[in-house]
A = this chain, B = another copy of it.
Amino acid sequence: MRRARSEDAKDERRQLLLSAALDEFFERGFSAARIEDIAQRASLSKGTVYLYFDSKEALFLALIEDLATPNIEQIEQIAAAAPSLREALDRLAVFAPVMIRTSNLPRLMKVLIGDSHTFPDIIRDYRKQKIERILGALTAFLDRAVDRGEIPPQNTSLTARLILAPIVLSGMWQAVFGRDADAEIDLEALFRLHTDLLLKALSPEGTKS
């Protein structure tokens, strides 16, 4: 492999390794993944991995750090920017299938769950700084919707969980069963239905019945 002398080339190689690492950690879990396989997947040799990361664990942690942020911010945006609940849910229904099918988030989730007990601190941090933040953003949005009279008063924090559950679980489903063709779900239809049901359930009239 040609040598990476410039900082840019090194950054690129670092990303290459992180990508290879996600593949291996996703497929085998932290413990069973082999550094040599990660290296090979990046067309590098074992030793080279250690030029970029101090240890297998450091590589894992860098991977979590690297992947955690971007997707999560997108989700937060939707909650922050949407003018109405209907609008927010519509955007979510459009965005979720894309994220599930094309982003690394489902695979990252699978890795985090599988190795949650090996890295308890990481997992706790991840929950607090990423998951709770998203839940919080959605809860705040629902609170505003209540204030606006768009939806009746309720435990918005739990409602937020119910809104996100099918999205997260579909991500997990994709990560775990994605390889089985017969396990495919029509995600667009699923989230359209989810949105429909939620709008009915949350609309003020719906409450009366």
Contacts and interface: CB of A to CB of B under 8 A. Distances in A.
Tell me how many chains of this kind the complex includes. Answer: 4
A27 interface: yes
Interface in A130-184: 154-155, 158-159, 161-162, 165-166, 168-170, 172, 175-177, 179-180, 183
A207 interface: yes
A51 B67 CA distance: 36
Give the secondary structure class of A's interface.
helix
Interface residues of A, number: 54
B27 A177 contact: no
A27 B205 CA distance: 47
A32 interface: yes
Contacts of A206: 200-201, 206, 209
29 contacts: A28-B118, A29-B32, A29-B115, A31-B32, A32-B32, A110-B114, A113-B113, A113-B114, A114-B114, A114-B115, A127-B177, A154-B193, A155-B189, A155-B193, A158-B185, A158-B189, A159-B197, A161-B166, A162-B166, A162-B190, A162-B194, A169-B169, A197-B202, A200-B209, A201-B201, A201-B206, A203-B209, A205-B209, A206-B206
